[in-house]
Structure 1
Amino acid sequence: MSTELWVKNGYVLTEEGFRYKNIRIIDGKIDTLYECEPEPMTENNANFIDASGCLVVPGFIDAHVHFNDPGRTDWEGIETGSLAAAIGGTTTIFDMPLNCSPSVTTVKNLQHKREYLTSKSYIDYALWGGMTGKSVSNQEELAQMSKGIIAWKAFMCESGIDDFPFVSPNQMKMAMKTAAEQNKILALHAEWEKEIHNLTTFYKKQTSLDEHRAFLASRPISAEEKAVSYALEAAQKYGTSVHFVHISSPRVVKLIQEAKESGINATVETCPHYLLFDEDDFLKSGAILKCAPPLRPREEVEGLWDCMSNGWIDTIGSDHSPCLYSMKNTDSIWEAWGGIQGVQFTWLALLDEAMKRKIPLKDILPLGTANVADRFGISAKKGRIQSGVDGDLVLISLDETTIVDQQCIAFRNRYSPYENRKFMLKVKKTILRGKVIYDDYSGITQEKDGQYILPGEVAYGSVPNESK
């Protein structure tokens, strides 16, 4: 039996910008968009949602989360992680291959994770595959894995996870060649291991220097620049599609932009914490804001916003990397877990900040919707409000506020650097494939209908700016 839902009276994000439209969703897919003037709704409109006063935008796609399932569910788990994401308007996530246990570096581990996650997620999801210093030479294994993953992820420095060793500079060439032959994107945590190792060793001995400042000094922007430069040269040589995650400095963004202009297939992600917080916030708050790369000086934050305005940043990912609070509350900053709990607040925080800066929301929203879908080959299903695409929508009110307190935090471990912040907007509803999964009055649905996105349904490697 066919199901039908109308979302009426909303100010809808289209390719032409925001327009008043009614949206008809049939069997989970957007059927038609109709031009409209806002009209009164009645109690008889059982299959209608009144979006009056709301922006209606595509469900957000977060290509960078660590939900730690299976194996470290006490840190998060896909149940609480996807719930928090849904509350924040995210309808699709790509789960990273590390921080779960075991890491997704073999066909066996990939299959186990896929089976384990079945019927546990509130939202749709895809899985990354891990290419490591140990697995990069096993071509047969990598070829089999490639059939079940959205893309590859590798580290150019120590990952902090024992079964996810970094890829050395020589091994990186093999990783690039393999990804290119498979027509897969290779995403990189790009910090130069030798520089970080030497500086960390040095600064740990500087007992006269504040530990927090020592940590910042141990991971300089130059380590990002060197790693990115090396990776871009390899990508050019092998024709690899590369995606640089959590870039923290405009200097590095500009480096990647120059490579794009030279014809290298590269994209860049940054994260909300690099756009909102700076190193002074880290020095004040400590481990709750520890991440790698670390937070940068305020001028770097402002420079990233300039890069956003220039269109040089392609995607936004939360890099949600949760842990037990005890892993943050350590005696030494060196021992504290590095990661930000933020997937619930990514777009509340970014849109709030964009409005303060008077940046049109239509220019920011594609970084978490259409651009991600284009880059990772899922634009036939996700990322836009248009006919034939999944009916994934978020209704956002700009007339209401969201105050982040511990009670509203939906992570398994209820803390976040966004606590005590006030955002001048509110997610009213999150809709996944034509079904309301979150409502700000009734809360989250009881059904966990998140579906696994099959790699066979996607086409890889397009650059967002080229798809417009």
Structure 2
Amino acid sequence: MDKWIKGGLVVLRDRTARMDIGIQDGKIAVLTEGEPVRQELPYGKSNGGSVFRSVPAVDGVELDVSGWIVMPGMVDAHVHLNEPGLGHWEGFVSGSSALAAGGCTTYIDMPLNGIPPTVTVQALEQKLALANGASAIDFALWGGLVPGNLDELSALAEAGVAGFKAFMSDPGGEGEGIFRNVDELTLLRGMQLISRTGKVLAIHAEDEVSVRRLAELAIAEGRTKARDFIASRTAEAEAKAVRKAIELAEISGCRLHFVHISSAQSIQLIQNAKARGIDVSAETCPHYLVLTDEDAERVGPAAKCAPPLRSREELEALWTEVLAGNIDWVASDHSPCPTEMKSSENWFEAWGGISGAQHTLELMIDEGVNKRGLPLHRVAAMTSLTPAQRFGLHPRKGEIAVGADADFALIDLKQSYTVSEQTLLQRHKHSPYVGREIGCRVRMTILGGEIVYLAENGICTSGFGKWLRPM
């Protein structure tokens, strides 16, 4: 072996076990299994007492991670790194660094808000030129479905996009050539064309007529606070769009995915569609599982997103769906912008999007495992295996198994920390999680057998990530 990772509590597809991992040429070559670990016992404890170490010991090609959790590197299927054109909002260097600090080893970058958006092969090539040699971790790229680019869809699929993204509501932004939402006819025709490629179409599902009318009414009446914005984007508007997209997918045969679902009502609609044999999946985001409308009022526009944060009751209902296995995966929807774009007291004017690249895995473990008893292998499926399978990145990515890339997130369940601006690696340091205590921490991220992030040192290897063409 080139390297060994020894003594860790390794999260596999169906269980957690104490194992040693042998690495050869950047891939997992050997898994030497030890005693299975019972999740009801405190991690990091053996019959002889604590086995945690404050700093891993590196001796030649052996890395001792005794007592730490070894998770498969996260596959974040929904991030916005804003290049080309808006690298000052984030960019591949800073965005991928923040993702790596959160235990992510692969991400799929959305086709907006770059200028130009990734809706042509030429734009895809422009984005690739900027990402290669800049990303700290591996990446794939989304293409977009917008009015006027139907003739580009087949070429984008052949060029290697992981899937396509479309909006049923206005994504915002100004200027020519920006990403636009589709009308029903364009959406149906796009689905028909995408179905021929075998790719997945990801949908931002909010009914544009509903949200626009409620927003216009609120603004006209001078109601522009957090609660007013939230009230303008109802769970019913989300569900209405979900129903329509499912109807069109059933007509077209298109593989469908719903991004950032915020309500249990919509999840149930998607579950019903699955039961009818429709090829559909759904994600939610950490902010819908840990933040509420009360947090939006407390934090301010740094907590503005669409769909918006909802009530405590809705949050708990989403957790019920997670625990029941009805939500396929969790993604950050990291959507950054310069801090001044979040400074308006008018919530309808402030830019929408939550900067959350760094905390998806930690929040899912803290809120899911520590507080709700969700098994670690279920978290691994929702943060790595399922999105990797859906977008053709498995078996190379997504789980700890012989033959897979040696991608790992090493997590200390005994180390709590408080998120601060100083701990954030993203370009702009606003986040609704600043001040939040998280009851675990990513201590190390390994990509292809190489350490790319250490909590004590930050990013260790820059520009190491490679573009992944789906299989």
TM range (shorter): over 0.9
Q: Does 1:363 align with 2:363?
A: no
Residue in 2 aligned with 1:326?
Answer: 340
Q: What TM-score comes out, normalization by structure 2 length?
A: 0.93
Q: Does 1:52 align with 2:77?
A: no
Residue in 1 aligned with 2:196?
Answer: 181
Residue in 1 aligned with 2:181?
Answer: 166
Q: Is the 8 A contact 1:57 1:394 kept in 2?
A: yes
The superposition leaves residues 85-144 of structure 1 with CA deviations (integer Å, 9 ceiling, x where unpaired) of 1111000000000011111111111111111211000000000001102223x2xx2211
Deviation at 1:255, TM superposition (A): 0.5
Query: After superposition, where does 1:56-67 map in structure 2 within 5 Å?
Result: 56-67=70-81
Q: Does 1:143 align with 2:154?
A: yes
Q: Is the 8 A contact 1:87 1:344 kept in 2?
A: yes
> Secondary structure, in 3 states, of the residue corresponding to 1:369?
helix
One-letter code aligned to 2:204: H
**Cα distance in 1 for residues equivalent to 2:31 and 2:141:** 32
Residue in 1 aligned with 2:467?
Answer: 452
**Cα distance in 2 for residues equivalent to 1:319 and 1:122:** 18
Query: After superposition, where does 1:185-264 map in structure 2 within 5 Å?
Result: 185-207=200-222, 209=223, 211-264=225-278
Residue in 2 aligned with 1:157?
Answer: 169
One-letter code aligned to 1:15: R
**Cα distance in 2 for residues equivalent to 1:447 and 1:328:** 29
**Cα distance in 2 for residues equivalent to 1:43 and 1:103:** 45
Q: Does 1:377 align with 2:377?
A: no
> Secondary structure, in 3 states, of the residue corresponding to 1:72?
coil
Residue in 2 aligned with 1:7?
Answer: 5
Deviation at 1:364, TM superposition (A): 2.1
Deviation at 1:297, TM superposition (A): 1.0
> Secondary structure, in 3 states, of the residue corresponding to 2:316?
helix
> Secondary structure, in 3 states, of the residue corresponding to 1:257?
helix
The superposition leaves residues 416-468 of structure 1 with CA deviations (integer Å, 9 ceiling, x where unpaired) of 1111111111111100001011112232114311000023xx1xxxxxxxxxx
**Cα distance in 2 for residues equivalent to 1:79 and 1:158:** 28
Query: After superposition, where does 1:27-106 map in structure 2 within 5 Å?
Result: 27-36=25-34, 45-106=59-120
How has the CA–CA distance of structure 1 residues 212 and 440 changed in structure 2, closer, same or farther, with 3 Å as cutoff?
closer
Q: Is the 8 A contact 1:192 1:226 kept in 2?
A: yes
Residue in 2 aligned with 1:340?
Answer: 354
Q: Is the 8 A contact 2:166 2:204 kept in 1?
A: yes
Long gaps (5+) in structure 2: 36-45
Q: Does 1:437 align with 2:448?
A: no
**Cα distance in 1 for residues equivalent to 2:62 and 2:279:** 43
How has the CA–CA distance of structure 1 residues 331 and 443 changed in structure 2, closer, same or farther, with 3 Å as cutoff?
closer
User: How much identity, in percent, do the aligned residues show?
Assistant: 40
Q: What TM-score comes out, normalization by structure 1 length?
A: 0.93
Deviation at 1:280, TM superposition (A): 1.3
Deviation at 1:213, TM superposition (A): 2.0
Q: Does 1:393 align with 2:400?
A: no
One-letter code aligned to 1:158: D
Deviation at 1:331, TM superposition (A): 3.8
How has the CA–CA distance of structure 1 residues 80 and 44 changed in structure 2, closer, same or farther, with 3 Å as cutoff?
closer
> Secondary structure, in 3 states, of the residue corresponding to 1:391?
coil
Q: Is the 8 A contact 1:91 1:432 kept in 2?
A: yes
Deviation at 1:188, TM superposition (A): 0.3
> Secondary structure, in 3 states, of the residue corresponding to 1:256?
helix
Q: Does 1:274 align with 2:288?
A: yes
> Secondary structure, in 3 states, of the residue corresponding to 1:36?
strand
Q: Is the 8 A contact 2:119 2:146 kept in 1?
A: yes
> Secondary structure, in 3 states, of the residue corresponding to 2:423?
coil
Long gaps (5+) in structure 1: 459-468
Bigger shift: 346-355 or 315-324?
346-355
Q: Is the 8 A contact 2:262 2:309 kept in 1?
A: yes
One-letter code aligned to 2:13: E
How has the CA–CA distance of structure 1 residues 453 and 43 changed in structure 2, closer, same or farther, with 3 Å as cutoff?
closer
Q: Is the 8 A contact 1:82 1:122 kept in 2?
A: yes
Match of 1:22 among 15, 20, 23: 20
Q: Is the 8 A contact 2:411 2:440 kept in 1?
A: yes
**Cα distance in 1 for residues equivalent to 2:229 and 2:59:** 58
Deviation at 1:363, TM superposition (A): 1.9
Deviation at 1:358, TM superposition (A): 2.5
Deviation at 1:161, TM superposition (A): 3.3
The superposition leaves residues 10-37 of structure 1 with CA deviations (integer Å, 9 ceiling, x where unpaired) of 1101133000111001000100101236
Deviation at 1:44, TM superposition (A): 8.3
